[in-house]
Amino acid sequence: MDYRPLGRTGLDVSAICLGTMTWGKQNTEAEAHAQLDYALDHGITFIDTAEMYAIPPSAETYGTTETYIGTWLKARGTRDRVILATKVVGPGFDFVRDGDPRLDRKNIVQAVDDSLRRLRTDHIDLYQLHWPDRSTNMFGRLGFRLNPAERMTDPAETLAVLDELVRSGKIRHVGLSNETPWGLMRFLHLAETRGWPRMASIQNPYSLLNRTFEVGLAECAIREDCGLLAYAPLGAGTLTGKYLDGARPPGARMTLFPGMTRYATGPGLRAIPRYVDIARRHGLDPAQMAIAFCLGRPFMTSVIIGATTMDQLAADIAAAGVALPEPVLEEIEAVHTEIPNPCP
């Protein structure tokens, strides 16, 4: 396993991060613990979760994933061996707190305390803003359109309370998620001019099907030492090839949740078999090729994997040892040029 700097924090994190959003929906507590044990034994030191998890979100499963991680940390005594990241939700879910979650002082203070309780720890290593508290283009939207009636919490208020929490010791470092170049640079400017915590990372989608991060954020990530934590590197499992020709394997995510259509677009359905074919013709596992491609990007800090079975987990972690030869990379670029970003 490779280990890479987490921004300018002085921490090194495993190049593969263990994602957890299925725990409490598709995976039981015992299965979550087994995944954590295996990942730690195979060099993964970085765990990512969120107060919102499990996904798809619901009032019944809200906070469950953090709870499972907390029981594992208590049972195994492994808190000092892992770097633990979680997230606070932005607006949009009426079952969170008082029904109006924002990235304001009141919400963030309560969210941190609730996460610490569920995680059974006295500090969070990386605390991330799950999505912006403003109208912007995220979750599959490419074009930006300002909402004149938006309610936006001032980023200065958000970063000021994060500064208080860092000073208190409850969180160590801060990061962004589902953010834009404007948002990233605004937070970095506030940190530099007011002495507040600097964003250490940005967690956005990135895969063979969605390379929009390269357009505006890649340069920011490299020049500002605020690397990408890539989520959905397998495009919700589509890049494994298991959904080809309309297949819906029992227990698979798109079988259980057919409303998840982000990776079922027309262009995506044309691109996915092309990428799977490249892998198979070169004797590669399609999932490992997809993850290895992400790992090779110069702006990448860590690639977040998620699995519902131990076989999937083992294969995904093994991608850390896969080096893609130049002919594979050239074929990937050819498909990308022909069908760019089919599933943003």
Residues belonging to the active site: 53
Q: What is the dihedral of CA 29, 36, 233, 115, to 10 degrees?
A: 60
- Give yes or no for a contact between 52 and 177, defined as CB atoms under 8 angstroms apart: no
Amino acid 121 reads T
Residue 20's Cβ-side half-sphere holds a number of Cα atoms within 13 Å equal to 36
Angle between helix 286-295 and 266-281 (nearest 10): 100
- Give yes or no for a contact between 342 and 265, defined as CB atoms under 8 angstroms apart: yes
Beta strands 12-14 and 199-205 are unpaired
Residue 59 and residue 42: Cα distance in Å, rounded? 34
Amino acid 187 reads F
